[in-house]
Structure 1
């Protein structure tokens, strides 16, 4: 990258300034990571950021406490088209489902409305880029040199699942929080007044396994790991089962539903950790 390279590149912010609400970085004097990356990669990342910023702000509780945030979320949703619904603005991209049941001789049906949902592919793509950036930041000895720089190939990163804020208290995620709580932490970043969070924990041992979690715009959490080969950390094994109810086929797709569980703020420990002193490790 840079002068003399055959790959076109430009300056990139790990967290796009407009990914979080306008002005939040300046108000909090927050952390960001600026580096050079290939222009094609940055252009792709910009598309993912635009869509995911729109969805996560639209579903963020910050809208209730700030008219400025509410107005911004609505403005984004009114001009951004959903990537999986051609010609449909995000504000109109929510789903409607019908649920029917029979009680004796009576048939009962009712409708369910779901808010606009993020494209799962975009969640995975952007989460991987964020983790690549943070991993490079905390493991590079000298980012100004090739030999001193550390780069993590995307094939070693996996995304386990993403969770909306209305479901942060579900038994699966709560169990994961407990399992990782004692794993040494090497990055715990809360920036832009809490509209962006990331934590990285390295599992003890020789396997070079990591756990990571992201939170975007106070409304979506994504968790996953880093591992070599196809092995996935035991953190994600034998977790509590989430109870899904199948609603059948609607519009050509299999639909299922479950009751979400809000989290008790006193039990929310996902981003609670002291960063290890690497000079002693």
Structure 2
């Protein structure tokens, strides 16, 4: 019998569900007392609003309901969905691909965005439910690197390569986001060219990004803290902000929109920006909560 202790969760724990919605990781009970689970992200919405007991109240001890533990394979499939979403929306040429699509197929593109964001929400809710009710497998942890027993040099090299690839993808994400913002700003402010703005951003943003990554790598040596810090902000960036801006850009740029531009422009643009704004706020709260929780 394994005992799970429910601890008060920070806001960052719920926010990180958008980037890596996972369940709690329980260590076996030891001589010093009950085991302590990894807080795990859980669902940002379900965990706060639909939890049967308030996660911010005093500690309580519960056990997993018999017969309610879910197969690991189900969680592995669900974990792959947010990864797919990130890869898709990080693509720097996503709007160019949309523009080159035949008009007969362009109608499906906004629906794909809705579907992707809906899948992300469902995954977060599922893991939030599993986290709250302690029915998730014990080896599904709140951090991808927790539980990895790195012993051999080949495993260390593999982890290093993964980290380098992940860091190399960050500028690609920034470039995609900058391109979307530039296109929307160009249309809204009726600017013929944003070349000057783009050059300024490249001169300023690139060194700042490199310096920030270097400082983080030198000052924060705990890999779990780095992934938590990035997860609280980049998770909502990729799950809400970027899709919202893509959706707004499609309906904000006449040559991208296949429907009547004047009739539907304001409503769809407002919807996309609302989603992106909500993501920015959620990411900021998670980022600050993660920093203060250290």
What TM bracket, shorter-length normalisation? under 0.3
**Which protein is richer in helix relative to its size?**
2
**Which protein is richer in strand relative to its size?**
1
Q: TM-score, normalised by structure 1?
A: 0.26
Q: TM-score, normalised by structure 2?
A: 0.25
